[in-house]
Chains A and B, each alone.
Chain A
Amino acid sequence: MRKALALLLASVLVSLGATAWGAEKTIKLGVVAELTGDMPAVGASCRNAAEMAVKEINAAGGLQIGKEKMKVQLVVEDNAGKADQSAAAAQKLITQDEVLAIVGPNASRYAIPAAEIAESSETVLITPWSTNPKATLDTNTNAPKKYVFRACFIDPFQGGVLAKFALEDLKAKKAAVLYDVASDYNKGIAEVFKTNYEKMGGKVVAFETYTTNDKDFSAQLTKIKDAKPDVVFLPNYYSEVPLQVQQAKRLGINVPFIGSDSWGSNELLTLGGADLNGYYFSTHYAADNAAPAAKKFIADYEKVYGTKPDDVAALTYDAFGLLFGALKSAGKADRDAIRVALSTLPSYQGVTGDMKFQADSRDPIKSAVILQIKDGKFTYFTNATP
């Protein structure tokens, strides 16, 4: 009730403002983020970067759409780290707030249900960080969805990159994998890694699972230890990886650990500390090896929020960049026009590198980097192609 009242007041104020200054028009864009739940750091980065992108565009007088300059209004919804609430939040943004387009959710297990809603409501949704192919594919036909885009690479690419890295850079012939079988992202990339690694001549000696929110991995890790791998792959989220590495070390597993882009939150360093020193993971961009255009974003973000932007922040910022670009080239504030403009957008230079959507796909072509955790910092290690 109070929330509804606040919304009503806000909308009255906005409309008053609009009539008072006459010409100024606003467009609404939505964000669905994991603000609470099991990965709040991901949601916070997403919201921070979204607010920054919008603030910048409004400070420049608004977005040039057709002949008018329009201000952007941001509506942020929390999905509480739950699949059903992700769908509900997307639904609310589309029908109640009538946003033009949505950015988020980030984790695949939340992005996939929200993407279903966006697709059926014919509203563009860009997920910044969901790398699972299913997010942008139709569940029945496996053809690309019409309205769902992403700002990142996909897991078949990332899994290939990591398999190659483990074999060639780490010279590891035997790998073990421990992954969350109840989470789309973790399961997807674990399987892709296994396929690629074995195709390239490696051997996966243990392929162990657990379920979201488990804290004790000792039984699985004992099995992994028994299989004597050269490297352990942990494609899991930042709040779980430190526990897994710590317990593995306590059991006497002393081989390198590698991870995927789900490691990329600064929270990993807070939670994992020295235990993770020296290990590698693949991700979307390296803050310490970024393009000149990205440097301004990194410096601005650090000034406002006091920490370096992680990959979620960078990708969210790029998702908004793509959206603004599409709105400009569409020339009108219309949901379907945004979709058409996005899919035909020429190469976009973002913080996380150049990206472009292919004609028949919603997944941009871009490259990955491998980072190393060194002295409590993410350090650029190498560029990666599969």
Chain B
Amino acid sequence: MSEVVVYWLQQALNALQLGSIYALIALGYTLVYGILTMINFAHGDVFMVGAFFCFLAATYLGLPFVPTLLLTMLGAALLGVMIERLAYKPLRQAPRVSAIITALGVGIFLENFTLALAPYPKHIPPLLENVTWDLGGVSLSSLQVIIIFLSLGLMFLLDYIVHRTPVGMAMRAISWDKTFVPLMGIPVDLIISVTFAIGAGLAGAAGTMYGLAYPVIDPYMGIMVGWKAFISAVVGGIGNIRGAMIGAFILGGVEIMVTAFFPSTYRDFVAFTLLMILIVVRPYGILGKPRTQKV
């Protein structure tokens, strides 16, 4: 392969890895928004706590990859349910802005709580034997393959749960109407908790994969990544699962390409300008549909 082709294939692979990480977090945003029309701004920090759970499981329990991943997802899911029960449920009837402020507050609480316990950046041990394949000059690492396939797999699983299972049907019902759905015998509180558990569990998975790809973690790591995942979800059409994935890959791709062409300081400003233009052209995101208000 010519050197130019190798170079761009390599950059495309980098974009795919970065996009997959954003996607895993974006799925949680989009799920909670899709069901509750609530933007859970604490999601990025749940992702951060997930990375710390991964650190604890891998370092202190000495667990291998799969148990670490499952335990982290479980821990994050429990955290998600706890946050919903303690912070959001009492505000379900309150104005939407109160819930958003509470979410920001929960995020700041998680950051500073973690900071108090772990002021130093932590190192996540390599849980997987990393193999790097050389494909005609393009380096492909086993970690990249796992990250990309895990995020695709979880996306399809989530899509399946929401569209093909009774729980998913209940979720979609709640997203349409919260007043009459309980009359049909659907336990609203339980379904909302399940929604948060799944969303936070995905953030836990993202924390683990992020921790393996970028193994130095700190309490503030969730802020910027969380914002970017949120933006991915909006670009893809918030509330839409496949849209979140597409948005994340677009953002990852734009970021990598901007850095490849320009000085890195241009990255966020060029990337976000492009995304703003995209939103202006398609206000509901790529796969989003305008929500019709039922009267």
Contact = CB atoms under 8 A, between A and B. Distances in A.
Interface string B120-143: 110100000010101000010101
Interface stretch (A19-27, A244-252, A293-301): A244-252
Interface in A225-263: 225-226, 239-240, 242-243, 246-247, 249-252
A93 to B, nearest CB: 22
Given A181-B264, A250-B130, A267-B120, A242 B14 contact: no
Interface string A176-217: 000001100000000000000000000000001111011110
Contacts of B264: 181, 208-211, 214, 219-220
Interface stretch (B230-238, B255-263, B277-285): B255-263
A181 B143 contact: no
Given A219-B260, A251-B10, A213 B220 contact: yes
A183 to B, nearest CB: 12
A219 B120 contact: no
Given A242-B216, A252-B134, A222 B265 contact: no
Contacts of B216: 215, 239-240, 242-243, 271
A220 B132 CA distance: 19
B75 interface: no
Interface residues of B, number: 37
Nearest to A267: B120
A213 B10 CA distance: 23
A223 interface: yes
Contacts of B123: 242, 270-273
Given A226-B7, A239-B121, A273-B123, A218 B18 contact: yes
B7 A222 contact: yes
A36 B17 contact: no
Contacts of A214: 264
A38 interface: yes
Contact of B11 (A38, A209, A219): A219
A242 B215 contact: yes
B84 interface: no
A251 B7 CA distance: 11
Interface string B242-280: 000000000000011101100111011000000000000
B132 A219 contact: no
B263 A209 contact: yes
B115 interface: yes
B263 A226 contact: no
B259 A226 contact: no
A252 B139 contact: yes
B interface SS class: helix
Contacts of B121: 38, 40, 239, 267, 271
Nearest to A181: B265
Contacts of A247: 214
A250 B119 contact: no
A36 B215 contact: no
B265 A215 contact: no
A54 interface: no
B10 A222 contact: yes
Given A181-B265, A218-B17, A252-B132, A243 B214 contact: yes
B17 A41 contact: no
Given A181-B263, A209-B265, A213-B220, A40 B18 contact: no
B265 A226 contact: no
B45 interface: no
B120 A223 contact: no
Nearest to B252: A216
A222 B115 contact: no
A332 B227 CA distance: 55
B191 interface: no
Contacts of A216: 14, 18, 214
B216 to A, nearest CB: 5
A263 to B, nearest CB: 14
A216 B257 CA distance: 13
B139 A251 contact: yes
A222 B11 contact: yes
Contact of B14 (A35, A36, A222, A246): A222
B3 A250 contact: no
A246 B215 contact: yes
Contact of A182 (B10, B120, B265): B265
A52 to B, nearest CB: 20
B214 A40 contact: no
Contacts of B11: 219, 222
B36 to A, nearest CB: 30
B224 A36 contact: no
Contacts of B267: 211
Nearest to A242: B216
A250 B215 CA distance: 13
A40 B259 contact: no
B108 interface: no
Contacts of A35: 119
Nearest 7 pairs between A and B by C-beta? Answer: A219-B259, A218-B14, A252-B139, A215-B214, A271-B123, A219-B256, A209-B264
28 contacts: A35-B119, A38-B218, A41-B120, A181-B264, A208-B264, A213-B220, A213-B224, A214-B264, A215-B216, A215-B221, A216-B14, A218-B17, A219-B11, A219-B14, A222-B7, A222-B260, A223-B260, A240-B216, A242-B123, A242-B216, A243-B214, A243-B216, A247-B214, A250-B130, A252-B139, A271-B121, A271-B123, A272-B123
Given A38-B121, A222-B7, A267-B120, 5 more contacts: A35-B119, A216-B214, A239-B218, A243-B214, A250-B130
Interface of A: 35-36, 38, 40-41, 181-182, 208-211, 213-216, 218-220, 222-223, 225-226, 239-240, 242-243, 246-247, 249-252, 267, 270-273
